[in-house]
Structure 1
């Protein structure tokens, strides 16, 4: 369950939730933490409420397409890689 997952985060790691939420920062302006774990929700209903509450950061990106969670994760990792160079 989420609580067990949260307790097992590596020491000092920040949890970054990828979620369409009013509080989420646009990916285009997001500064990725050096040590973090990205959390993506289920394709049909997103992240659980508890995961959103416990995330250190929430990020979102706009798209006119309906994309699956694997593609969403790839976009976030691509952005991280671009900004780290």
Structure 2
């Protein structure tokens, strides 16, 4: 089973969780407010963190006041 939030026009935002057929949390993927894939976490059979990988954002948010581009806050909408 997969659970998460979709936000138009960015797609997946926030944490997404996937459980295996036994109901055990298998993985967590985190997206920022612009839909950038930021973190992957995979868990072992005991529920312990087995692997974590961080990703650089591919889309940046432009500050309307300064025009400065930066990664989006996690959930700013």
- TM-score in terms of structure 1 length: 0.22
Q: Flag the structure with higher helix content.
A: 1
Larger Rg: 2
- TM-score in terms of structure 2 length: 0.23
Question: Which structure has more RCO (C-alpha within 8 Å, separation ≥ 6)?
Answer: 1
Q: Flag the structure with higher strand content.
A: 2
